[in-house]
Amino acid sequence: MAMSRLLRLDGQNVSVVLEFALGQMPVWRHFGARLPDTLLLHAWPAARLQRLAPGTLDRLGGLPVLPCFGNGELGAPALRVHRAGLDAVQDLRATGFAQPDPQTLQLTLEDAVASISVQLFLHLCADSDVLSLHSVLHNTGSTPLTLDHLASATVPMPAALQELGSFHGQWSHEFQWTRQAVPQVGWQRDNRSGRSSHEAPPAVFVLASDAGEHTGEVVAAQLAWSGNHRFALDRADDGRLNLQAGEWFAPGEVQLAPGTSLATPLLHLGWSKAGLNGASARLQRYIRSQVLQWPGGRMRARPVHLNTWEAVYFDHQADVLFDLARAAASVGVERFVLDDGWFPARKDDRAGLGDWWPDPAKYPEGLGPLIAHVHSLGMEFGLWVEPEMVNPDSELFRAHPDWALQLAGRALVLGRNQLVLDLSRPEVSAYLFDKLHAVLAAHPIAYLKWDMNRIFAHAAGQDGRLAMRSQIPALYALLERLRAAHPQLEIETCASGGGRADLGMLRHTQRLWTSDNNDAVSRVAIQSGAARLFPLELMGSHVGPAPAHATGRSQSMAFRCAVACFGHMGVEADVRQLGEADRATLAHWIALHKSLREVLHSGRFSQGRTVDGVVWWLVQTAGQAVLGVFTVSPPNYSYQPGLRLPSLAGSGAWQARLLGSAGQARARGDAPDVWGDALRSGGGRVQGEELAQVGWPVPVMHPESALVYSFSSVPASEG
Ligand code: DGJ
């Protein structure tokens, strides 16, 4: 038997250990807590620590780093390929490894009979402790290889992790969090919509049953991919639980020609013993330092937006937009985003997509005058586009009906009256680049809101093969080409709200439109979910109109503002129509947001929820913290226990102030508010340890109330 050795990657709190032998399939030995430098138990090969179970094959081993199909392994195969039905069994064996730096491992596996090789890459980020994995499959044979499945990675979950946290949703109801026990038969979720989706965004949390928001062992997983995907918690036949994630391929859509390769998207894993917040924080740190690519190399203060959509929809009238810009500037807006409706024939959603130049009827002198006006008011200008789409009623479609994905002999399937363009065709991407580049080159446009408003159907390319996957790299390439041509440009990823919010898009974009639902009560749940995945500075959160267009419900202006404050803040309401009091409230909260955004957009986020349904969001840096407390339903009890804030344990003394509030405390009119008054005036001092162990006192509040506090650390000499 070949001599085995251990390969390991170590972070500050995390270790990865693999058992490797030439000529064998490497196996996982550990992913989880940091292990000592010298390992003793691990010196025993995995196979020596077990005994053959009755009814099994005559061999033992651990979890293969790349489970294959057809050789007796009954766990979910990471790879399913064949050549017109042949070479359907794979038996990959290690032929080498490299550790180019202490944080990176590269394993090479080959199967000479099936004529394939795979490289598996593992990188443990020294700064964030996030483990990133991906695979590259090579067709070393002389005939085409059909790929039915190729996971980015298959990773054993620490034994105590038997619960699952995931997200579901639909339009205007994104990032709805659910937690459940992993069923005995395992769990699997496929997304086949062509975009990362409202229904099943590419992320899961796997957690111990005693884990909660702040304590317990948790693995957070996100796949950096914007198309179809599969997440599985595979309960192997021996009972072990493995996480497998990667793309989901449509039948026949991926074929590797001889000598070619396919690289999977990256799967990112954050392990923590500090609960859901701890695991989220790992990934968010990684996103900030490794995923985001800001123009100029660093994030600048996130400008407060005004988005025209819910104010005017498709009805673009110059005088209205000029007034709206004036009104927006007067409340402190810094970026005016002209949404859908600016290009020819776009009086509703039935026409125009594809014709990316200003509508001469609505904009007889082009966009220049409006942009100049916006600039004269001290704001940047942003523009909505939906480049991947075409309306049959458009000049583009009339000239190139074959550019839309479609299936010969089958009807065109419309969604919002539009079709998906085949971006993998060079002439299509070139057209889109040329048209968008022309608009961007003609005007100082700081920002594009990049929308995508339908799922795929009958989505085949010219050769009749389904072309859902090839769309995604072509989309990324188009975004990169535009960014290279316009290095200062920022882009927002939007797909009918938060239907394409993922780390694949966020490598090329700087903001995500969280939801078309601007109802602040709905937003508390939506933003709580999204904040498990993404740092607040990426999360578009707008003050919408009342009643909210998505729900018909109304909340006070202050409540809407308090919720929108915890994100990349913006306004979607028609500021022209606001009464004096609401306009002043909006201006006040925008100013407050600006004073807090440095903390909100760089600090560590954590969240909690009391038994009474009170939600809190805390963002902390070394010297500052901001706490938001929100109620959405009537209280069950007349006493509100203090909010325990575990992440402030041992953080020393803080000076606390109440900066903003919405709604009302539920108290007798004659009851003095001594604590509240103190926090509103000079403030009060607290120890971080008191906040962690005893809790921050908040009043019992009516539904749709909010309190926003700031904490400034007090130097030890003064504490
Ligand atoms: C869907 C987006 O989510 C909205 O914000 C808006 O941009 C519309 N599309 C415009 O058609």
The CATH number linked to 252 is: 2.70.98.60
User: Does 635 reside within a domain?
Assistant: yes
Regarding the beta carbon of 339 and ligand 1, being less than 6 Å apart is answered yes
Say yes or no to pLDDT of 684 above 60: yes
Q: How far is the CA of 417 from the centre of ligand 1 (A)?
A: 14
Q: How far is the CA of 55 from the centre of ligand 1 (A)?
A: 57
Regarding the beta carbon of 340 and ligand 1, being less than 6 Å apart is answered yes
Token pair for residue 124?
């443990």
Q: CA torsion 564→568→571→572, rounded to 10°? A: -100
In this predicted structure, what is the pLDDT of residue 719? 60
The alpha helices in 507-631, defined as continuous H runs, are: 520-530, 557-564, 580-600
Q: Band of the pLDDT at 21, cuts 50, 70, 90?
A: very high
In this predicted structure, what is the pLDDT of residue 57? 86
Q: What is the pTM of this model?
A: 0.98
Say yes or no to pLDDT of 1 above 60: no
Mean per-residue pLDDT of the chain: 97
**Phi, psi (5° rounding) for residue 257?**
-70, 160
What is the rounded average pLDDT of the residues 621-643?
Answer: 96
Which domain CATH number covers 658? Answer: 2.60.40.1180
Beta bridge partners of 570: 305, 542
pLDDT digits (tens, 9 = 90+) for 96-146: 999 999 999 999 999 999 999 999 999 999 999 999 999 999 999 999 999
User: Does 181 reside within a domain?
Assistant: yes
Regarding the beta carbon of 513 and ligand 1, being less than 6 Å apart is answered yes
User: Residue 490 corresponds to which amino acid?
Assistant: E
Q: Band of the pLDDT at 78, cuts 50, 70, 90?
A: very high
Measured from the Cα of 384, ligand 1's closest atom is 7
Say yes or no to pLDDT of 499 above 70: yes
Q: How far is the CA of 450 from the centre of ligand 1 (A)?
A: 9
Q: Coil, helix or strand for 658?
A: strand
Say yes or no to pLDDT of 628 above 90: yes
Sequential DSSP letters for 131-186: EEEEEEEEE-SSS-EEEEEEEEEEEEPPTTEEEEEEEEEETTEEEEEEEEEPPTT-
The DSSP element (H or E) to which 432 belongs, if any, is: helix 426-442
Say yes or no to pLDDT of 162 above 90: yes
Say yes or no to pLDDT of 60 above 80: no
What is the rounded average pLDDT of the residues 422-446?
Answer: 98
**Which of 384, 450, 511, when mutated, tests ligand 1's pocket best, judged by the most ligand atoms within 8 Å of its CB?**
384
In this predicted structure, what is the pLDDT of residue 265? 98
Regarding the beta carbon of 610 and ligand 1, being less than 6 Å apart is answered no
Question: What proportion of the chain, given as a percentage, has pLDDT over 70?
Answer: 100
Say yes or no to pLDDT of 226 above 70: yes
Say yes or no to pLDDT of 512 above 60: yes
Regarding the beta carbon of 450 and ligand 1, being less than 6 Å apart is answered no
Question: What proportion of the chain, given as a percentage, has pLDDT over 90?
Answer: 95
Token pair for residue 537?
């500075």
Measured from the Cα of 497, ligand 1's closest atom is 3
- DSSP-based helix, strand, coil % in the chain, nearest 5: 20, 30, 45
Regarding the beta carbon of 213 and ligand 1, being less than 6 Å apart is answered no
In this predicted structure, what is the pLDDT of residue 75? 87
Regarding the beta carbon of 496 and ligand 1, being less than 6 Å apart is answered yes
C-alpha to C-alpha distance for 558 and 661, rounded to whole angstroms: 7
- Check if the beta carbon of residue 344 is closer than 8 Å to that of residue 360: yes
Say yes or no to pLDDT of 688 above 60: yes
C-alpha to C-alpha distance for 107 and 98, rounded to whole angstroms: 7
Domain boundary among 241, 258, 291: 291
DSSP-derived pairing of the beta strands 335-338 and 380-385: parallel
**Phi, psi (5° rounding) for residue 56?**
-110, 170
Measured from the Cα of 516, ligand 1's closest atom is 3
Say yes or no to pLDDT of 12 above 70: yes
Q: Band of the pLDDT at 56, cuts 50, 70, 90?
A: confident
Nearest CA to ligand 1 atom 9: 496
User: Does 74 reside within a domain?
Assistant: yes
Domain boundary among 232, 267, 291: 291
User: Does 213 reside within a domain?
Assistant: yes
User: Does 82 reside within a domain?
Assistant: yes
What is the rounded average pLDDT of the residues 515-521?
Answer: 98
Measured from the Cα of 339, ligand 1's closest atom is 7
User: Does 548 reside within a domain?
Assistant: no
What total of structural domains would you count in the chain? 2
Q: Band of the pLDDT at 30, cuts 50, 70, 90?
A: very high
What is the rounded average pLDDT of the residues 445-451?
Answer: 98
Q: How far is the CA of 194 from the centre of ligand 1 (A)?
A: 18
Regarding the beta carbon of 713 and ligand 1, being less than 6 Å apart is answered no
Residues annotated as catalytic are 451, 516
Domain boundary among 267, 291, 315: 291
Sequential DSSP letters for 448-466: EEE------SS-B-TTSSB
Regarding the beta carbon of 516 and ligand 1, being less than 6 Å apart is answered yes
Say yes or no to pLDDT of 270 above 60: yes
Give the CA distances from residue 492 to residues 126, 452, 497, 617, 670, in Å, rounded to whole numbers and listed in that order. 29, 11, 11, 24, 49
Q: How far is the CA of 662 from the centre of ligand 1 (A)?
A: 28
Regarding the beta carbon of 309 and ligand 1, being less than 6 Å apart is answered yes
User: Does 282 reside within a domain?
Assistant: yes
Q: Band of the pLDDT at 239, cuts 50, 70, 90?
A: confident
Q: How far is the CA of 451 from the centre of ligand 1 (A)?
A: 7
C-alpha to C-alpha distance for 70 and 2, rounded to whole angstroms: 23
Token pair for residue 77?
């195969």
Residues sharing a CB contact under 8 Å with residue 337, sequence separation 6 or more, in sequence order: 305, 306, 307, 308, 381, 382, 383, 384, 447, 449, 570
User: Does 110 reside within a domain?
Assistant: yes
Range of the domain at 279: 5-34+62-291
Token pair for residue 700?
């019992």
Give the CA distances from residue 139 to residues 143, 146, 517, in Å, rounded to whole numbers and listed in that order. 8, 10, 46
Q: How far is the CA of 204 from the centre of ligand 1 (A)?
A: 27
pLDDT digits (tens, 9 = 90+) for 540-579: 999 999 999 999 999 999 999 999 999 999 999 999 999 9
For 608-633, the three-class secondary structure string (H helix, E strand, C coil) is: EECCCCCEEEEEECCCEEEEEEEECC
pLDDT digits (tens, 9 = 90+) for 358-409: 999 999 999 999 999 999 999 999 999 999 999 999 999 999 999 999 999 9
